[in-house]
Amino acid sequence: MTPTKPYLLRAIFEWAEDNGFTPQVLVNADAPGVEVPTAHVVDGQIVLNISSSAVRLHNMDNECLNFSARFSGVEEHIYLPIDSILAIFARENSQGIFFEDVDDNPEPDPDKQKKKTEPTKLKTKTKPKRDKSHLKIIK
């Protein structure tokens, strides 16, 4: 089955462009196959503006996102395998999708199957207990 990630990337990109926002991607710069200017990498990650006005988009398909962009006045070729993209979002309001670091088609891990874990309980908002009322009921 085809992964959903590339389709979601294209959808958020189009949504951002249609609404006048600046689409940006957060990329794991240490992932295999990533080609980005290393001078702009911070803590193994880089945020790239992929708006139509900032880049010459060459390709955004199910395998990769590649384009040309200027960094400090120098045109650079950028190549991002889809798996290296951690998020796509609008710069103006941070709305978008932040991807978890999981495969779309994970294979079962025998070590994890042996360990029994308790289900995660969702935290629910509870109202703080109120002090006893100072009002009295009169009959």
pLDDT of residue 10: 95
Residues of the chain with pLDDT under 70: 101-136
CATH number of the domain at 5-95, please? 2.30.30.220
Instruction: Tell me the per-residue pLDDT of 17-44, one tens digit each, with 9 for 90 and over.
Output: 999 999 999 999 999 999 999 999 999 9
- Contact status, residue 96 vs residue 16, Cβ threshold 8 Å: yes
Radius of gyration of the chain (CA): 23
pLDDT of residue 19: 96
Whole-number Å distance between alpha carbons of 127 and 132: 15
pLDDT of residue 100: 81
How do the domains of the chain map onto residue ranges? 5-95
- Contact status, residue 66 vs residue 79, Cβ threshold 8 Å: yes
pLDDT of residue 127: 46
Whole-number Å distance between alpha carbons of 105 and 109: 12
Phi, psi of 59, rounded to the nearest 5 degrees: -160, 135
